[in-house]
């Protein structure tokens, strides 16, 4: 499917048919999700494809029993694990560096990222450093705290979610990104860590009539798009 056609086709579907979603469709979409851009290539996202029937049943309950979950053929939980930066950046450092950029890569992933993403005990000091430097030149002010780091990781995961949903649409199936869920229950079902955050649950299937709640509505373009 042509890209803009897939963008137009993608809707939040609330009810699906009984048609199974082929395994290769899910895997192709997951591979596309992993190609999404993400902050510093830290790849702090995790994609949990819930395939066990008993766990799917629990997930429907954790998603408040809504039709988008109850009728879904597949459920994907997208979460972040901020501390994954340690593993991913070390892998980058251990890999062959781009010619001529070896020193910059070592500085960035060996020193800057550990300071930005780690050393949370120094959060107040980092705030002082970043904002002090910002008085004299353009300076990245975040992430200096746990909250900032979480926000950065969630943004990256959201980009992966969009890649996944468009890849599903391009293959003729449908999705619904759900924020209506009990995060504590979802984390318990998937045995996620205390520092993990559930970004969204995405249901997958084939839409039925009335699976979409009416025509797409968007506000006037000039409310949101500005040329400056």
Closest CA to 72 of 19, 24, 16: 16
Q: Report pLDDT for 1.
A: 66
What is the pTM (predicted TM-score) of this model?
A: 0.93
100-140 pLDDT tens trace: 888 999 999 999 899 888 888 888 888 898 889 999 999 88
Q: Report pLDDT for 39.
A: 95
Q: Report pLDDT for 100.
A: 86
Closest CA to 17 of 216, 217, 203: 203
Lowest mean pLDDT among 44-58, 114-128, 142-156, 176-190: 114-128
Residue in the block written with tokens 């890209």: 3
Q: In whole angstroms, how far apart are CA 228 and each of 61, 104, 219?
A: 47, 33, 20
Check whether 58 has a pLDDT greater than 70.
yes
CATH 3.40.50.1370 is held by the domain 1-179: no
**How far apart, in whole angstroms, are the C-alpha atoms of residue 146 and residue 143?**
8
Q: Report pLDDT for 116.
A: 86
What SS3 string covers 203-225? EEECECCCCCCCCCCCCCHHHCC
Lowest mean pLDDT among 27-36, 143-152, 163-172: 143-152
Residue in the block written with tokens 């800057």: 112
Listed in sequence order, the DSSP H helices in the chain are 3-9, 23-33, 53-62, 67-70, 85-94, 102-107, 113-117, 123-133, 146-170, 183-190
**How far apart, in whole angstroms, are the C-alpha atoms of residue 108 and residue 94?**
13
Contact indicator for 175, 14 with CB cutoff of 8 Å? no
What percent of the chain has pLDDT above 90? Answer: 82
């Amino acid at each position: 499917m042509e890209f803009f056609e897939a963008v137009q086709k993608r809707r939040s579907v609330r009810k699906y048919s009984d048609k199974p979603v082929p395994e290769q469709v899910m895997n192709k979409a997951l591979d596309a999700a992993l190609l999404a851009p993400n902050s510093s290539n830290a790849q702090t996202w995790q994609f949990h494809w819930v395939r066990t029937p008993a766990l799917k049943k629990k997930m429907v309950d954790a998603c408040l029993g809504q039709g988008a979950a109850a009728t879904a053929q597949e459920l994907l939980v997208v979460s972040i694990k901020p501390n994954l930066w340690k593993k991913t950046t070390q892998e980058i450092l251990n890999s062959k560096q781009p010619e001529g950029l070896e020193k910059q890569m070592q500085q960035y992933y060996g020193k800057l990222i550990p300071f930005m993403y780690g050393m949370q005990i120094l959060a107040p000091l980092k705030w002082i450093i970043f904002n002090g430097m910002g008085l004299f030149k353009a300076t990245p002010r975040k992430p200096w705290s746990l909250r900032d780091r979480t926000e950065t990781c969630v943004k990256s995961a959201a980009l992966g979610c969009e890649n996944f949903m468009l890849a599903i649409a391009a293959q003729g199936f449908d999705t619904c990104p759900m924020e209506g869920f009990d995060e504590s229950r979802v984390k318990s079902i998937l045995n996620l860590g205390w520092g993990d955050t559930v970004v969204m649950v995405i249901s997958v299937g084939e839409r039925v009539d009335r699976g979409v709640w009416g025509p797409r509505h968007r506000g006037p373009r000039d409310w949101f798009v500005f040329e400056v």
